[in-house]
């Protein structure tokens, strides 16, 4: 059916997929550039914005503006310093309110198709036509999981974040060697759990300096048990606890745990992006300097525009700014309409 005769639930200038820092920032950038707020729609599959921050960040975790201590500068409308989780969410709440950003919550995107000069996006029960589309979904919506299967009887004892349940006076094994693994171990130890940290390599070369220094000090002081150079090849149930199958023999005291928590990072949703028609090079989406894909008018921002480890909130804000600058060639701002 021709797009000229199709009835759309929304016919807008810009659709943004993902209501995290990058998506919210791009909506603010678009408004600042002169696009009316009712011509911008942000689609979010969860019931609230910034879901990854809400789900994966403990209340005490500092939300750092920059990633791994790398200095960066704000180029666009939004900027922030290191803030608490609560203050970060409050900041983004205020941006949504001040810029009158329209977010459709609980509207997962099922398909994105380019028809002529327009994108047809099906999300939830809505069909939307838009001149420009920006994908701003994070890499942590899908945490990485181990290669081996986790049986159904173990699933209540295994987690991929530390906010899904409370952990008090438990014996816990954290698995991973990045910043999240260090932060999980530090936090769990601080609230009274007996924590071990297992990493397949012999050193924490993936962590930023502060996290590496902090976790190494805890291991040195024997407040956290470090299991370095040891891999896990499977999990078994033993006396209502999890017994990891290690790649090498460990002390019997370390043989079982009340809980195992994986901090293995996240992955970009490559299959979804490839299905949309986005070209990849070297395992990453091919982007211009303004974060445009090979599909004219389709932009990737935030974590998708960073390397596989993700980026900072400042880099998410900046990618939204430069993407919106690039999107300007598709707009007639004087008439506030699409070309």
Mean pLDDT (whole number) for 106-135: 93
Instruction: State how far the Cα of 60 lies from the Cα of 54, in Å rounded to an integer.
Output: 12
What is the residue range of 223's domain?
A: 152-262
- 1, pLDDT greater than 70: no
The tokens for 36 are: 């009316």
The tokens for 324 are: 């919106």
Question: What's the pTM?
Answer: 0.72
Instruction: State how far the Cα of 306 lies from the Cα of 140, in Å rounded to an integer.
Output: 13
Mean pLDDT (whole number) for 222-241: 95
pLDDT reported for residue 68: 56
CATH number, domain at 162? 3.50.50.60
Mean pLDDT (whole number) for 132-141: 85
Higher pLDDT, 4 or 262: 262
The residue out of 204, 233, 262 marking a domain boundary is: 262
Local confidence band at 4 (pLDDT 50, 70, 90 cut-offs): very low
For residue 105, being part of any structural domain is answered with yes
pLDDT reported for residue 71: 61
Both 333 and 209 in a single domain? Answer: no
Local confidence band at 66 (pLDDT 50, 70, 90 cut-offs): confident
| Best-predicted range by mean pLDDT (111-115, 142-146, 267-271, 302-306) | 111-115
The residue out of 262, 281, 299 marking a domain boundary is: 262
For residue 168, being part of any structural domain is answered with yes
For residue 44, being part of any structural domain is answered with yes
Mean pLDDT (whole number) for 312-328: 94
For residue 3, being part of any structural domain is answered with no
Q: What is the dihedral of CA 42, 48, 49, 50, to 10 degrees?
A: -140
* Closest of 140, 175, 146 to residue 57, by C-alpha: 140
- pLDDT, one tens digit per residue, over 50-63 is 998 888 888 877 88
The residue out of 239, 262, 285 marking a domain boundary is: 262
């Amino acid at each position: 059916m021709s797009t000229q005769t199709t009835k759309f639930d929304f016919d807008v200038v810009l659709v943004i997929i993902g209501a995290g820092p990058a998506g919210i920032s791009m909506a603010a950038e678009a408004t600042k550039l002169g696009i009316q707020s009712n011509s911008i729609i942000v689609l979010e599959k969860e019931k609230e914005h910034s879901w990854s921050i809400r789900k994966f960040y403990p209340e005490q975790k500092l939300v750092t503006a920059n990633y791994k201590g790398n200095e960066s500068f704000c180029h666009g409308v939004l900027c922030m310093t290191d803030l608490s989780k609560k203050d970060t969410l409050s900041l983004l709440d205020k941006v949504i309110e001040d810029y009158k950003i329209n977010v459709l919550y609980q509207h997962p995107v099922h398909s994105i198709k380019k028809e002529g000069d327009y994108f047809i996006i099906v999300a939830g029960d809505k069909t939307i036509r838009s001149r420009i589309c920006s994908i701003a979904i994070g890499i942590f919506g899908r945490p990485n999981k181990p290669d081996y299967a986790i049986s159904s009887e173990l699933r209540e004892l295994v987690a991929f974040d530390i906010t899904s349940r409370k952990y008090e006076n438990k014996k816990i094994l954290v698995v991973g060697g990045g910043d999240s693994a260090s932060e999980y171990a530090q936090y769990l130890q601080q609230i009274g759990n007996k924590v071990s940290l297992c990493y397949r390599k012999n050193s924490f070369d993936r962590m930023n300096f502060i996290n590496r220094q902090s976790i190494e000090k805890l291991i040195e002081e024997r407040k956290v048990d470090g299991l370095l150079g040891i891999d896990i090849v499977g999990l078994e149930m033993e006396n209502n606890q999890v017994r990891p199958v290690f790649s090498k023999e460990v002390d019997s005291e370390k043989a079982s745990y009340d809980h195992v928590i994986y901090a293995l990072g996240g992955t970009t949703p490559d299959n979804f992006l490839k299905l949309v028609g986005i070209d990849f090079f070297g395992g990453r989406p091919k982007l211009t300097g303004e974060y445009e894909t090979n599909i004219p008018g389709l932009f990737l921002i935030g974590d998708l525009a960073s390397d596989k480890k993700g980026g900072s909130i400042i880099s998410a804000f900046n990618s939204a700014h430069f993407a919106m600058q690039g999107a300007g060639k598709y707009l007639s701002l004087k008439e506030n309409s699409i070309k």
